[in-house]
């Protein structure tokens, strides 16, 4: 039998051995110090690669887009969190990826058509479909939890109001610890006009796309470049680095993802290779494995580096 399954029996058989402290491991935090651009520049200068946990880094028993999953991950590794924000029919912002409730909650139907009082009664399901004791968190709860602990990447679902989301971020005083995700220059321009002090993740698969965004009125120091999920582009990363724009690359994406290939082949060191090739932020469904590989290569932010600490 494995010892961690029967702690009481193990303790009873070792009464002559002095007790060992069972303190809860200290959680990591990534504090931007009120300047996300400077925080990212510091990480890049120290040759550190940041892990971004897709949908908050769910694991068995800890569902996606839950505060519990994100909190557990920060006890394992320093990471920023990507979350999905939707809005109820009565205007409450909450975390949920799918348009429908069926896959990730005990509810049914279209989430945005429900009032918050009904959504709040539901329980979240984990990746295997098991019902957990955890409820759907509001964006306000997620922001309050994240303050001083990590950076949130905000993926807007169709029901989520830009104005309401940005207002919630300001109410939580988290404007310097969020990245707003845009999938087009038009969306990025709208977000920048609403929140000129916030950082925007914009899809950039070629260097002239950055020039288009700047020409549209988005300063380069407010952009992080999401460079896709399929093919690493070191030449593009180098060009973006010359323009002082940080690079995000996604290894996520389901059955055909780079995450899946790395896991199946047992080559976790590829995460560190991506960092060495110029990726500043790895968006992944395997944040623990990516962080461990980066740590082994000396590329993960350690305690005292650029606002990273354990507490």
Query: What's residue 17's pLDDT?
Result: 33
Query: What's residue 9's pLDDT?
Result: 27
Query: What's residue 13's pLDDT?
Result: 31
Q: Do residues 222 and 200 make contact, with C-beta atoms less than 8 angstroms apart? A: yes
Q: Is the pLDDT of residue 1 over 70?
A: no
The predicted-structure confidence for 69-93, as pLDDT tens digits, reads as follows 999 999 999 999 999 999 999 999 9
The predicted-structure confidence for 227-260, as pLDDT tens digits, reads as follows 999 999 999 999 999 999 999 999 999 889 999 9
DSSP state of 21: P
Query: What's residue 24's pLDDT?
Result: 60
Q: How many CB atoms lie within 10 A of CB 280?
A: 24
Q: Do residues 183 and 212 make contact, with C-beta atoms less than 8 angstroms apart? A: no
Alpha-helical (H) ranges within 75-232 are 116-119, 139-146, 162-171, 185-194, 207-215
According to DSSP, the residues that pair with 94 across neighbouring strands are 86, 138
When pLDDT is averaged across residues 182-207 and rounded to a whole number, the result is: 97
Kind of pairing between the strands at 281-284 and 80-87:
unpaired
The dihedral built from the CA positions of residue 94, 98, 100 and 102, taken in this order, carries a sign that is negative
- Residue 208: pLDDT band by 50, 70, 90 thresholds? very high
Dist. CA 154–CA 10, nearest whole Å? 45
- Residue 104: pLDDT band by 50, 70, 90 thresholds? very high
pTM of the predicted model as reported, rounded to 2 decimal places: 0.91
> 76-93 b/e with 16+ CB inside 10 Å = b?
bbbbbbbbbbbbbeeebb
Longest dimension (CA), the chain: 72
The predicted-structure confidence for 253-310, as pLDDT tens digits, reads as follows 988 999 999 999 999 999 999 999 999 999 999 999 999 999 999 999 989 999 999 9
Kind of pairing between the strands at 28-30 and 308-310:
antiparallel
Query: What's residue 255's pLDDT?
Result: 87
When pLDDT is averaged across residues 102-128 and rounded to a whole number, the result is: 98
User: Cα–Cα distances in Å, from 101 out to 45, 68, 84, 303?
Assistant: 43, 19, 13, 39
The predicted-structure confidence for 2-39, as pLDDT tens digits, reads as follows 333 323 322 333 333 333 334 566 899 999 999 999 99
Dist. CA 218–CA 293, nearest whole Å? 34
Q: Mean pLDDT over all residues of the chain?
A: 92
Query: What's residue 16's pLDDT?
Result: 35
Q: Is the pLDDT of residue 200 over 60?
A: yes
User: Cα–Cα distances in Å, from 81 out to 20, 119, 151?
Assistant: 33, 23, 6
When pLDDT is averaged across residues 153-172 and rounded to a whole number, the result is: 98
- Residue 156: pLDDT band by 50, 70, 90 thresholds? very high
Domain boundaries, the chain: 35-298
Dist. CA 287–CA 80, nearest whole Å? 10
What Rg value do the Cα atoms of the chain yield, rounded?
A: 20
User: Cα–Cα distances in Å, from 84 out to 42, 98, 108, 115, 160?
Assistant: 27, 9, 18, 18, 9
* Fold exhibited by the domain 35-298: TIM Barrel (3.20.20)
């Amino acid at each position: 039998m494995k010892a961690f399954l029967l702690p009481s029996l193990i303790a009873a058989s070792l009464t002559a051995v002095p007790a060992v402290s069972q303190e809860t491991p200290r959680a990591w935090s990534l504090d931007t110090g009120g300047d996300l651009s400077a925080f990212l520049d510091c990480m890049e200068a120290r040759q550190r690669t940041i892990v971004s946990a897709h949908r908050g880094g769910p694991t068995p028993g800890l569902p996606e887009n839950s505060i519990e999953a994100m909190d557990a991950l920060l006890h394992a590794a320093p990471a920023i969190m990507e979350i999905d924000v939707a809005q109820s029919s009565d205007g409450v912002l909450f975390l949920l990826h799918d348009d429908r409730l069926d896959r990730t909650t005990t509810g049914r139907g279209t989430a945005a058509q429900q009032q918050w009082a009904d959504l709040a009664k539901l329980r979240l399901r984990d990746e295997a479909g098991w019902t957990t004791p955890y409820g759907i968190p509001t964006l306000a709860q997620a922001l309050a939890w994240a303050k001083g602990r990590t950076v949130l990447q905000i993926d807007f679902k169709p029901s989520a109001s830009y104005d309401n989301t940005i207002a919630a971020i300001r109410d939580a005083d988290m404007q310097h610890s969020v990245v707003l995700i845009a999938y087009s220059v038009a969306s990025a321009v709208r977000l920048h006009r609403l929140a000129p002090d916030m950082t925007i993740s914009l899809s950039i698969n070629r260097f002239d796309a950055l020039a288009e965004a700047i020409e549209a009125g988005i300063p380069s120091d407010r952009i992080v470049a999401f460079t896709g999920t399929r093919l690493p582009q070191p030449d593009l990363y180098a060009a973006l680095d010359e323009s002082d724009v940080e690079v995000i690359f996604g290894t996520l994406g389901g059955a055909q993802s780079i995450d899946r290939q790395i896991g199946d082949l047992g080559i976790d060191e590829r995460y560190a290779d991506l960092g060495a090739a110029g990726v500043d932020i790895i968006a992944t469904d395997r944040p623990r494995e990516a962080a461990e590989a980066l740590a082994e290569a000396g590329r993960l932010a350690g305690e005292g580096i650029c606002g990273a600490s354990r507490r």
